C-alpha cells in the first residue's frame, strides 16, 4: 500500500483547509485521518494531541495573516495603513472563517512559533501608529483599542450579530475606520 506521506506540516495545512470547510471546532483528528484515508492512530506520530493539532493550525493562520498584513502595510501610513490592515483581517476572516477562528485559538502552552507570530501582529498595529505620533501610554492604549475593534467587529459580523439591522455591515466598516482615524489624529492624554 502506497503511503500517504504525512508530515506535521501537511497535517496543519490540511487541518486549516478542513477548518474553513467545517468550522474550526469541528476539526478533529478523526476527520483529518479520513481526509488522508489513513487510520486515526497514524496521525499521533505527527501530532501530540488534538490540542496540539489545533495549535499548529493556529500558527498556520497567524503566519498567513502576518504575511498579508506586512504586504498591506508596505508603503502606507496613517489612514491608508489603518484601512489596509483592517481590511486584511476582515477579508481574511470572511474568506477563511475556520482559519480566522484558529488564529484566535488559545493554546495551553504556546510554542515559539506561536509567540513569534503573535508578536508580528502586535508589531504591525504598532507600525500603523507611528504615523500618529502618540506617546506612552497612549500608544499602548491605541494598540489595544484597534485590536479590540478589528477582532470585535469581525467576530460579531461573522456571528451574524449585525445581520438583523439595516445598513449592511460592510457599509458601517469603512465609516468606523474613518472614525478611528479621526480619533487617533485627535488623541489627547485625557
Q: What whole-number distance in Å separates Cα of residue 44 and Cα of residue 33?
A: 10
CA distances from 46 to 34, 53, 126, 178 (A): 15, 9, 36, 46
List binders of its own copies among 163-182 (CB under 8 A).
Answer: 165-167, 169, 171-172, 175-176, 178-179, 182
Q: Give the three-class secondary structure for 171.
A: helix
Contact positions vs DNA (CB under 7 A): 1-7, 28-31, 38-42, 44-46, 48-51
Q: Pick from DNA, its own copies, none: which does 128 bind, CB < 5 to 8 A by kind?
A: none
Our finding on whether 149 is near its own copies (CB under 8 A) is: yes
Our finding on whether 159 is near its own copies (CB under 8 A) is: yes
Strands (E) across 44-150 are located at none
Our finding on whether 51 is near its own copies (CB under 8 A) is: no
Q: What whole-number distance in Å separates Cα of residue 51 and Cα of residue 15?
A: 12
Are 125 and 82 contacting, i.e. CB atoms less than 8 angstroms apart? Answer: no
Interaction pattern, residues 129-148, with its own copies; x per rule: CB under 8 A: --------xx-xx-xxx-xx
Q: Pick from DNA, its own copies, none: which does 40 bind, CB < 5 to 8 A by kind?
A: DNA
Amino acid at each position: 500500500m502506497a503511503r500517504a506521506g504525512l508530515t506535521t506540516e501537511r497535517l496543519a495545512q490540511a487541518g486549516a483547509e478542513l477548518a474553513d470547510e467545517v468550522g474550526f471546532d469541528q476539526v478533529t483528528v478523526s476527520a483529518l485521518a479520513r481526509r488522508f484515508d489513513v487510520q486515526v492512530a497514524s496521525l499521533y506520530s505527527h501530532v501530540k494531541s488534538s490540542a496540539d493539532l489545533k495549535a499548529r493550525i493556529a500558527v498556520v493562520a497567524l503566519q498567513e495573516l502576518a504575511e498579508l498584513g506586512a504586504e498591506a502595510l508596505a508603503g502606507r501610513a496613517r489612514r491608508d495603513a489603518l484601512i489596509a490592515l483592517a481590511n486584511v483581517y476582515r477579508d481574511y476572516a470572511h474568506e477563511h472563517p475556520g482559519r480566522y477562528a484558529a488564529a484566535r485559538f488559545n493554546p495551553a502552552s504556546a510554542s515559539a512559533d506561536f509567540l513569534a507570530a503573535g508578536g508580528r501582529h502586535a508589531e504591525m498595529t504598532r507600525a500603523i501608529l507611528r504615523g500618529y505620533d502618540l506617546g506612552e501610554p497612549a500608544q499602548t492604549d491605541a494598540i489595544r483599542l484597534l485590536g479590540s475593534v478589528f477582532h470585535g467587529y469581525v467576530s460579531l459580523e461573522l456571528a451574524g450579530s449585525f445581520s438583523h439591522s439595516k445598513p449592511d455591515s460592510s457599509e458601517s466598516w469603512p465609516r468606523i475606520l474613518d472614525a478611528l482615524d479621526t480619533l487617533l489624529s485627535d488623541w489627547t492624554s485625557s
